[in-house]
Chains A and B, each alone.
Chain A
Amino acid sequence: MALTCLAVLGTPAHAQDAEPVRFERDGLKLELAALSHDQVRAFFLARGFSQKDTEHIAVTACLFRSAIGSAFAEAGAPAVKVALDEWQAMPADGKPSAPKVREYWENVWKTREVPADAATAFYWALFPTEQVFAPTDYNWGFLTFGLPPGTSFNLMVAWTTDDKAYHTTIEGLQCAK
């Protein structure tokens, strides 16, 4: 397995400055930025979530926007596979955990009895749990890490290109405060 550590230390991705982290390596192209609580509230209130459920997202989700896909632009280039359950959010003083994916949130919304339209929008607004990208394919979506507001963490990003496994670590991410 190829192991790398991403050199973004000089530009930590804090929600406050919302400067995206970008990298392109071994077939993967990625862009990632934390969203502020106000951005989260505005988006999900407009999708039909109640104030209470919107607050639940803002306080528990630690939400980042992302665009992730294939860095290849030539037809016939290898497929790139991303599976979020292979990623690890690693807070300095906490247990590593995988991102909270669509299936996790579907159960949350069933328990909280949120309107169907809101739950549907949430599902499609999240980055897919697992996807294979052909050349020039990519997806947009939110990532949720389930960490408390303000938590600083490193993120281990894993993917496969042409069935070969790669990973890298993005250091210095921070959930919105």
Chain B
Amino acid sequence: MDSANSQYLSPWAKKSLTFFLWLSPLFSLGPFLAFGILFAFPKEFRLRLKAIAVIAVYILNWILFYPVELLHRSSMEWEGKINAFLAQDGTTFRLKFGFFIVCFLFLLSNYLHSLFRNRKRELVRQVRANREFPNSQIRTEMRVRDSKFDTILLVLVLALVFQYLFLYITESLNPQKNLSPLAPLYDVHQFVFNYSISICILVFSFNRNKIPSLLAKPYLRYMEGIRIRESWKQAVKTEGKFPLRLELIIKQKAKFRDQLLPGFGHIYVYEYWRGFPILFLTLLLYLFSAVWVFSYISPIFGIQFLAGFGLKPGIPDKDFFISSQNIAYAVFSLAALVGLYFYSAMILEKSFSLENLGIKKDKDGESEPFFKPGLRKGFRNVLPLSLLFHLVLLCLVFLIPISIQRGKKKEQSAQKNDHFRPEKMEFYFIDPNVPDDTQGLNGGVITGNETENKEKGEKISNEKVADNGPVKGYIKKIRGKKVPPTYSNYISAKMRIPESYMDYWAKAPHPYSSVVAYTITQDGDVIDVELVEASDYPDQDLRTLQLVESLGPLMPPPGTKSDIRVTELFWNGPIDPEFVPTPLQKEMINLFDGRYMEEIPE
């Protein structure tokens, strides 16, 4: 059963690789080392099984948690629902326990399956022994360990210990505690990941490297495909004969892989120069399609989706918002993706032509024999590489990392005075004429505070807010009304991106509060960032300033003729004036997202 290529790897190399493979998630190598092992050691039967287990754990976690993260990013309504669900007492424990039960059920079904197979095997042996050696007994008992019930219990408990060990290492490496609303979900995610990896380690170790019973059939089938392919490669290299029947099996397996992901089928038959460009094109087109479809649903969702990858649009937000509402982009991306599926299948089919397989004589001299290294000639072979090159260039233009700024930084303006005049604050953000019964315009965000109307508004100071706070002048505030998506909503959504990228809330002390003022220009640049009220934590204050600086470029403020000045409270603690230290902060904590905005006179 073991590989025939033991000449390649010595026992120490196998053990080192196995150890490194199990620890690869801790070393931030993701599933890539596992993929590397699949490519580098095609005949290593047991090592490949472990690599596939690591990849399966990543896929399982992705399926379980990514949709939730995506939903959380999709709208404020979902964000609120998920946060509220996670904030309930005992949610984390219940989710973890649920996964523990799922693992138990999986191991139990594996045990029952293994028991059944083992008994069947023993019966066959017994019949044979009785027939050939009538008066003797079979000495060995059950040799497959996953058919023992105590093994299940041992694996379940020991996996918990392993999980805590992984958790301890992770926390030692990253001691910062995550305080974001999604922290309970990350906690469950970490448990699920570590626990599933621990179970894989133990199941493969306790069973003397035998395949878990439930996985045996599909894995053997998969390895059969790899073995036939390797034999074919060997036969081609040595110019030996290879049965057509097996070549057709390889064709079938390549086509199946290509249907899963275009390019994968080509890679399977070592057509790297064609397979990898098609595969990368597919992945990029999936990314583009998702961005355009999500942005069409809501531009902020598109931006949030990109932020999950650490990216942002390389064009100004205003242009992005306009473009995203053009459905042609989404349709074109999806059509290109579908086209690529057909194209890849078509050239894969051509690869297995009778000329290439050596069945029919090549009259035109255009045959492309398998396992020949290098890029093949011809338009259809070069096209994917060329398309990929162009799409990568397009990516560098339209999708850029969050931390990267495009264009030169604008000089800081000298306008720093008179930055807070609340009587102007909402006229371009909230339309006061929106009827009270307007439903679901922005997910029901409650804006403003308790003041009913302009007449009953309070006096706000005309002086600099940093000195006196809002005490003079009139203010219009709207209470509890559902309003259209406002510019303030937009700033809040944009701020989530650097917050997540910088782990801002994970690093924030509790309680923490500071006030920062900044100007948003007509070009959407964020300038004149100023710390109005510092906290007792200079490191976090610096992070707050960096957070605001990394906010730009923004969409220009709508309906204004000049720049706007924003004064914003950053706080980490209860939304209660009693818990913030200064009068200004006590005032600001009740505002929507703790933010005042005003137009700076021209």
Bind each other: no
Chain B residues packing against A (C-beta within 8 Å) = none
Chain A residues packing against B (C-beta within 8 Å) = none
